[in-house]
Homo-oligomer: A and B are copies of this chain.
Amino acid sequence: MSTTTDRYTEASIEADPTVPAIHIVRDFAATPAQLLRAHTDPDLFSRWVGPQGFTTTIDYWDARTGGSWRYTAVHGDGSDGMEFGFRGCFHEVREDRIVQTFTWEGQPDGVALETLTFTDLGDGRTRLHAVSLCDSFEGRDAWLRSGMETGVNDGYAKLDDLLAHGTVSESASA
């Protein structure tokens, strides 16, 4: 799944055969430092995460080891009442890896453990591998059936655009 000879210009989304996890693999025209910043800078993150047509608002965000986060997403101008809340804590934030918990507040007792790794492919590209570990196969499979691929693919396409437009620098000061 994660050999570096393939090219994941579209996200690969696969169920783990052994444990109740989902694997997402996606390549970006970015350095690992840019991908780290795209996942840790709240302004940038809110501009690309989630499906087209939704607006993300950060409630709180402390992307450091031991920090925590929460954001909400509304559809369109919010007048249809579709609002979704998400929250978790950052177990670890380091150069090549983010480990965090993830709860969709519509199912407040459900918790996934997410591990993101950034692998430099050596040609100005970086591979993101995201693993979401759920506590049951039923929960994992419901998540896979939920239409999550729309949010994943839309979000990463928006991130491609931000990268192409030079919006994502490697550090907050740049």
Which A residues, 86 to 144, have Cβ-Cβ distances below 8 Å to chain B? 87-92, 97, 99, 101, 103, 109, 111, 113, 115, 131, 133, 135-137
Binding-face segment, A18-26, A31-39, A71-79, A151-159: A18-26
Cβ–Cβ < 8 Å partners of A131 in chain B:
135
> CB distance B91 to A66 under 8 Å?
no
Q: Confirm or deny: A55 has a beta carbon within 8 angstroms of a beta carbon on chain B.
A: no
Q: Confirm or deny: A169 has a beta carbon within 8 angstroms of a beta carbon on chain B.
A: no
> CB distance B18 to A137 under 8 Å?
yes
Cβ–Cβ < 8 Å partners of A136 in chain B:
18-19
Complex formed: what's the CA distance from A101 to B91 in Å? 7
